[in-house]
Amino acid sequence: MSDNAEWCLIESDPGVFTELIRNFGVQGVQVEEIYSLDEDAFVNLNPVHGLIFLFKYRENEEFTGELDHENKNDIFFAQQVISNACATQAIINLLLNVENPDVTLGSELEDFKNFTSSFDPPNRGLCLSNSEHIRTMHNSFARQTLFELDIKNTGKDDNYHFVTYVPFKGRVYELDGLREAPIDHGPIPEGQNWIDIVRPVIQTRIQRFTTGEIHFNLMAAISDRRVKYQKELNELIESGMDTDDAAHDIYRLQTLISEEEDKWDRQRRENVRRRHNYVPFIVELMKCLAREEKLLPLVENVIFEHNRKEVMKQYEFV
């Protein structure tokens, strides 16, 4: 993969992904974390436009389904040709295959989709890597580096990778930027939720990990619930119904809208903290402690506690 333009690693967090999607100019989508693959976990999330799955990457890992080299249904798929971009790669591959009136891509992604419509997956990936707008939005979530240490890491770091699962034209696809083509997981039977098709695929992948290991994360791209609840509220008010049930439903929807707005406000504040550079504050705090001759005793106390715990650990095995 090419590294001509630097892309940062970003955190697998629904608040990060939701704001990133909105920064792309997309309207009508939010991201929610999924803690269970049980059917009940998806009841209040429908419609689910796609799933974003993060897992510990293993080279030459076997996969289920069939590679659709011919791309029979003309699904949008861009290969990953740059490092650290798999999160945005997964999001873009998901968004550009959403077939729902709730979702508006916005001019940037619409133009990108139209411009690359005749490209093959590697060239779509190359075009994505050279998109200044997409790269800037992605890198806006770069974490501040507190200190640069001249220490070589001799250990082998774990690598993690994002893939997307989407329903498209009656079939379920897995879009993995490290593969050469979309992976077709088969048709969606009439009247059945596409989640029922993808559930065993993800479960099989999770079961490959050793018991006790947590090396995966699952998020769902769903319709913006604030918009959904507001639409239901407007329809209810316009109906002119003046009953206790209607009043209860109005109060319920207003509460749900307020909860969603509070959640988005919390996520936005958390994202600001993620971007903030705390180095000046930390340096000034250390200077203040040093002037008051409190810094050295604090450091010595930490070292003492660390050594004490290490000694206690040794006695535990005697």
CB 21 within 8 A of CB 96: no
Active-site residue flag, 161: yes
Cβ neighbourhood burial of 165 (10 Å; 0-12, 13-18, 19+): buried
Residue 71 CA to residue 7 CA, distance in Å, equals 28
The catalytically annotated residue of 8, 49, 133, 161 is 161
The catalytically annotated residue of 8, 49, 69, 86 is 86
Closest CA to 125 of 165, 178, 49: 178
Residues 6+ away with beta carbon under 8 Å from 286: 295
Residue 50 pairs with which residues in a beta bridge? 221
Q: State how beta strands 171-175 and 48-56 pair.
A: unpaired
Closest CA to 177 of 251, 89, 105, 238: 89
Active-site residue flag, 138: no
Active-site positions read 86, 161
